[in-house]
Every structure is written in C-alpha cells, then in structure tokens.
Amino acid sequence: MNVAKYREAIHQADTFKRYGKVLRVVGLMIESLGPEANIGEVCWIHSSKNKNPVIAEVVGFSNEKIILMPYAEVAEIGSGCLVESTGKPLTVKIGRGLIGKVVDSLGKPMDHSRLPKGLSNYLTEQSPPNPLSRPPISEPFQVGVKAIDSLLTVGKGQRIGIFAGSGVGKSTLLGMIARNSSADINIIALIGERGREVREFIENDLGEEGLKKSIVVVATSDQPALMRIKGAYTATAISEYFRDLGFQVNMMMDSVTRVAMAQREIGLAAGEPPTTKGYTPSVFAVLPKLLERTGTSKDGSITAFYTVLVDGDDMNEPIADTVRGILDGHFILDRKLAEQGQFPAINSLKSISRVMNKIVSQKHLEAAQQIRELMGRYEENRELIQIGAYKRGTNQEIDRSISYHPKIMSFLKQGVSDYHPLEDSIARMQKLLNGGI
C-alpha cells in the first residue's frame, strides 16, 4: 500500500483553525476582522451567551473587513465575538422524504420534527441550465382553471408571472393551481408572508390533498432579509432536484416582489447605491439568475408561477416591469373584476401566454381568438352600452359581443373548490361559441 501520498497530504494540511472577530453591528450588517472567506460563504458567529452559533453569510467587504448578514436575529452578538468560516456556501438537505412537509429557508421542518433519513446535500445557489440543453416547450400543462386552460394555455416548463395588487386573490389562485394541476409535485415558496396567512394558506387554499404532493418553504415577513431571499433559493433548489429526477414540477412563489425587497435591504446594508425606487443594482442582477433556473431540462421540467405584488396596481413599476420581461407570460388580476365578484379575477385581454400558439391545436386557438375578439369588442364599447347610447342593430359585431358577454363571464367564473380538466375547459369553450351554455 502506497502511504506516501497520505503522508504528503498530512504534511500539507493546515492544522490551525483561524477565527475572525466582530468589530461592530450596524442594523442588518455585522462587520468583522477576518477570517479568510469568499462572497457567499457561510460563517458561524460564536457568542458566550448562546451555545448555538449564529449562522451568517459573507455579502461584501469594506477596507479589508468582512461584511456579514445573519440568518437569525443579532440580539446576542457583541463586539469581540468569534467568527468561524465553514469554507462553503449554504447547502440544504433534499429528498423524497420532504414531500408533505413545511420547511424553513434552511430546509428544517417548521414543526421542529426530525428530518427523514436518506436526504442529499444540495447547494441552494446553482447556475441556470445551458440554453442549448433546454428542450422547447411542446406540451400543454393542465392548471385546472377554466380561464387559464382555455384562453391562456400554459406549457410544461413555462414561467408565468401573476401580477396583482393586495387582496385580489393571488393566494387563492395559487391554491387552486396546486390542487388541480397535472404536475407530479408542487414546490410552494411563501416569501415575506404574514405569519397568520401561512397556516391559512396550507389548510384552506392548499388543503390536505394538495399538501400530500407538495413541499412548502416558508420565510415570514418578520425574519431577516437573508432568510427571506434564501427561501426563494431553497425552493428553487428543491425544484431543480426533483426536475433532475425526471419529475414534472409545479413551482409557485408568493411573492417575487418580497424577494426583491429583501435583496434591496442586503444591497443597501452592503453599501450599494439606491437606484430606481430605492432598489439597488444587485436586485436587477439577481432576479434573472433566480428566474432563469426554472423551466425545461433534458430530464424533466419546472413549470413556475411567480406572483408579483404591484404597488398601487401600477403594472409598470420597476420590479413588475423587470419580471415581465424575463418570464414567458403574465396573468393580470384586475381589482375591478374582483369587486364585481368575478373570481378568479384574471383580465384575459391584458394577460398573455407566450407559448400558447405552439402547444395547442388550431381548433383550440381559433376558438380562443374568437372569444378574445368578442370580449375586446365589448370592452371598446362598454361605456356606450352601459349608458344606453348604443342602439341594437347599428353594428352586427357589437350586437354579437353584447349577446355573448354574459355567457363568457359565466364561463370564466369558477368556484375555489371546482375542478375542470384541460379537455373539459376546451370543450366548454367551443360549446359556448356554438350557442351552448
């Protein structure tokens, strides 16, 4: 047995453990002198008052000092606390044993139970797949919501943004998609949500049946910025793991706006200059890297739904505009429709699925275009119709749109617990145009 190489490795091994020292804490930022570490590496901060070290991540450097951001509260960290580098970035344990569980941003069960055995270590930050290795989107993905399956058909591996103001039904729509979709597994990321809403979403919107084929990653609004943004990375990493096993994954993130806000906090603490609406340049660099990780691969696919919380229903604010340009389509939830009791409140005329033309039959496409034309014609003349200024018989197309309008609105309305397969939604749409319903 050749032991020379082992002796050489022992001689070259560094037998000293090097620590840094906390110099100051300002807001979210911890500044330390040493140890040697790179951007993205995880460090442990040891406090004399707490047996368990505080986990932090290197986010920047300032005058040869390390800037750290903690994953937890910094109440027990003081000047002089020892900082130890792990020498590696954040990894989480992932496997089939997590299905049906609710975990935090570090992959630990929220009910404080033990992690199941047989899980693999997986880096939370991965590179997006090579564009040339991505198969084209060619098959429809059943969502189980009539308004989407008929007029805004989604493809397997497509990435969709759900844009809405607060209280218009984003979470309810996500719950419907999770229960009714044709995916093998759901990965749901609740980022920056109110703590009250987490259990309500799991029990009411997702339900017991939905949870059986889901993994829920939770980072509530009271947690540090780094925990919130890591929640998004952890959920994406879990989705990638199952995609590489050949699963058809349905990933939902509520909301990507809160991920951007968390990155803004980190950027400002690290000394970045604020730009549009206070967002730092790193926000607009991080979003494409995160959103491009989902989609198709040679093994499986991740069909992703990202909710975007738009301030004051302004669809052109910086984050909404950036995300809309990265994704493969967007659904606009309209407050006016919600106020009229139209749920899901999807504005079909303002929404678009960029791959629909390539994945549906010609017959389906023609029927969807006819309904959109009827809806568009009615919207153009809505004010004239409502005040009684339009006289029937003046224009045949407008007359037709008026007669079809109540039927179309009734078709697009769907109860929270209702389930409609993709084929059923298409058949109902064609029946509507043929004078049925």
> pLDDT tens-digit profile of 15-40?
777 789 999 988 878 999 989 899 99
What pLDDT sits at residue 434?
A: 86
Query: 363-434 in CATH: which number?
Result: 1.20.1270.330
372/270: higher pLDDT: 372
Domains of the chain, by residue range, sit at: 18-89, 111-357, 363-434
Q: Indicate if the pLDDT at residue 75 is higher than 80.
A: no
**Separation CA 116–CA 92 (nearest Å):** 13
Question: Which two tokens mark 312?
Answer: 């004051």
Q: Maximum distance among all alpha carbons in the chain?
A: 99
- Per-residue model confidence as pLDDT tens digits over 306-365: 999 987 777 788 999 999 999 999 999 999 999 988 999 999 999 999 999 999 999 999
What pLDDT sits at residue 319?
A: 93
Q: Indicate if the pLDDT at residue 393 is higher than 90.
A: no
What pLDDT sits at residue 350?
A: 94
Question: Which two tokens mark 38?
Answer: 């790179």
- Per-residue model confidence as pLDDT tens digits over 153-169: 999 999 999 999 888 88
CA distances, 294 to each of 333, 359, 437 (Å): 23, 19, 38
Average pLDDT over residues 371-396: 91
**Separation CA 334–CA 423 (nearest Å):** 26
Q: Indicate if the pLDDT at residue 435 is higher than 80.
A: no
AA identity, residue 93 = K
Q: How many residues does the chain have?
A: 437
**Separation CA 106–CA 122 (nearest Å):** 11
Q: What is the pTM of this model?
A: 0.92
**CA nearest neighbour of 183 among 282, 96, 300, 322:** 300
> Which CATH class for the 111-357 domain?
alpha beta
Instruction: Give the architecture-level CATH label for domain 18-89.
Output: Beta Barrel (2.40)
- Per-residue model confidence as pLDDT tens digits over 272-302: 899 888 899 999 999 999 999 999 999 999 9
Q: Indicate if the pLDDT at residue 235 is higher than 90.
A: yes
**Cis, peptide link before residue 417, omega less than 30° from 0:** no
Kindly indicate the confidence band of residue 303, based on its pLDDT and cuts at 50, 70 and 90.
very high
In which element (H, E) is residue 367 found? helix 362-380
Q: Indicate if the pLDDT at residue 64 is higher than 90.
A: no
